Amino acid sequence: MKGPDPEPSILAIRGLTVRFGLPRRFALGRSARLAAGAFTALDGIDLRVPRGGILGLVGESGSGKSTAARAILRLLRTDAGEILFDRSREGAPSWVDLARLGGEALRRIRRDVQMVFQDPYSSLDPRQTVGSIIAEPLWIFRAGSARHIRARVEALLAEVGLDPWALRRYPHEFSGGQRQRIGIARALAPDPRLLVCDEPVSALDVSIQGQIVNLLLEQQERRGLSMLFISHDLSLVRRIASRLSVIYRGRIVEEGPSESVFAAPAHPYTRALLEAASIPAGAEDACRLPGSGSVDAIQSSGWRGGCAFAPRCGFVEDRCRREAPGLEALSGRPEHRAACFLIAES
């Protein structure tokens, strides 16, 4: 399979679509009229994770960030599109479409693609000891003898900043930050090449978030990991990501090098997110995006217009309600693209 981009990438998503359906017999009230059709959570998105780099995926709640993460890991069924993963460790790319893999072939690829979940409380089995949680992927992938696996688990605990005594403890005996360290150790156990981090610090105290982010960055640099980092914290993503994609209602509305997007955002939604992020705490009223209505309200209203952001955009025109703009390169910045008719007209 031919590589999807001239720039080295480890993951390239093309036209990924995920729909969720609701049987009519379970629908109540206003949702009854939507039950006949499926709700589109991802609407043909394209993403590219640079090899050895970090792609930040940002957007407000309900935009489709976690759906994208779970679709990449094949934890959700996809309806259309490709999830191209370069399984070669060196030399010429060797692309495989994860969306079309199954059985043993998919199991082998899972060793190279691992996930750090958002909630460190629910992502760990409370009935297993920490040692067995971290060792489980090593047993699945037959990483060696029992002695070798135990030594590997102890080494992983040390790498994430936990003492060897944690082996025999259970998840409920640890704090949230410690549990996330355990989750990271489990994800690193099979020596993956791509780490998908779905809001890995959002459920943690602010004082702990920096520690976990530093741990991920240390491991990323030490192992040469590629990373998809999903977050709603723009300041955090700006700090760690080399590339940025902005998602709204299941569509990518802007993408490009992080420095370019943060310095000169082109899409009205991206600009609104950045403006809201710069407003100090206590000024929540000023953080409202242009237009009216939340993402959930617009989705439940059955909006099926052109541009996904049209119902909330302060620059909306009739064309925006009829047509869906594609991603267009900005003048003088070919790597920076935005899905807005204002780009083509400027």
Q: What would the pLDDT profile of 225-277 be if each residue is shown by its tens digit? A: 999 999 988 989 999 999 999 999 999 999 999 999 999 999 999 999 998 87
Q: Give me the percent of the chain exceeding a pLDDT of 90.
A: 62
Nearest-10 Cα torsion for 276, 315, 301, 298: -20
- 37: confidence class by pLDDT, cuts 50, 70, 90: low
Give the domain ranges of the chain. Answer: 9-112+192-345
Q: Answer for the pair 337, 45: CB distance below 8 angstroms, yes or no.
A: no
Burial environment of residue 29 by CB neighbours within 10 A (0 to 12, 13 to 18, 19 or more): exposed
Q: How confident is the model at residue 301 (pLDDT cuts 50, 70, 90)?
A: very low
Question: Model's pTM, two decimal places?
Answer: 0.86
Under the banding of pLDDT at 50, 70 and 90, the label for residue 346 is low
The residue type at 184? I
The answer to whether 270 and 58 are in contact (CB under 8 A) is no
CA distance 234 to 306: 27
* Separation between Cα atoms, residue 184 and residue 75, nearest integer Å: 18
Interval 68-85: pLDDT, tens: 999 999 999 999 999 999
Residue 302 pLDDT grade (very low, low, confident, very high; cuts 50, 70, 90)? very low
Q: What is the pLDDT of residues 197-228, one digit of tens each?
A: 999 998 888 889 999 999 999 999 999 999 99
Hey, which of 123-137, 283-297, 315-329 has the most confident mean pLDDT?
A: 123-137
The answer as to CATH 3.40.50.300 being correct for domain 9-112+192-345 is yes
Residue 186: φ, ψ to 5°? -60, -40
